[in-house]
Amino acid sequence: NAGVTQTPKFQVLKTGQSMTLQCAQDMNHEYMSWYRQDPGMGLRLIHYSVGAGITDQGEVPNGYNVSRSTTEDFPLRLLSAAPSQTSVYFCASSPPSYNEQFFGPGTRLTVL
């Protein structure tokens, strides 16, 4: 199993550009989520999904969209990038017990 994979590893955007961060898992986990990590603030939940076709907002959803058309994929879209979205983004998935989340390696995004 590859586990949770994320692409790209690094990305630089200009203010106003849009892009999609990709996340995929091959463990057949129903639960997937996106977090952003900022210095001194731990990880904050952006959006999550409890299954294909079901998504919901987390703590900091503004400026981001998600969709879940398959169990495996959970892309995160930045609609119009802003410097405040400069961060490291982590995708995670969880088995039905919800007692552990498996994290991807992260995407480091810089918005100029």
Partner 1 sequence: GNSVTQMEGPVTLSEEAFLTINCTYTATGYPSLFWYVQYPGEGLQLLLKATKADDKGSNKGFEATYRKETTSFHLEKGSVQVSDSAVYFCALILMDSSYKLIFGSGTRLLVRP
Contacts to partner 1 by CB under 8 A: 31, 33, 35, 40-45, 48, 50, 56, 58, 90, 92, 94, 98-106
With beta carbons less than 8 A apart as the criterion, state whether 39 and 58 touch.
no
By residue count, the chain amounts to: 112
If the CB atoms of residues 6 and 85 are measured against partner 1, the closer one turns out to be: 6
If one counts every other C-beta atom within 10 angstroms of the C-beta of residue 6, the result is 20
Residue 53: strand pairing partners: none
Nearer to partner 1, 14 or 100 (CB): 100
HEC string for 27-59: CCCCEEEEEEECCCCCEEEEEEEEECCEEEECC
When the beta carbons of 17 and 103 are compared against partner 1, the nearer one is: 103
Distance CA 78, CA 100 (A): 27
Q: Which C-beta is closer to partner 1: that of 18 or that of 59?
A: 59
At closest approach, how far in Å is the CB of 2 from partner 1? Answer: 13
Q: Provide, rounded to whole angstroms, the least separation between the CB of residue 20 and partner 1.
A: 19
Distance of closest approach, residue 106 Cβ to partner 1, in angstroms: 5
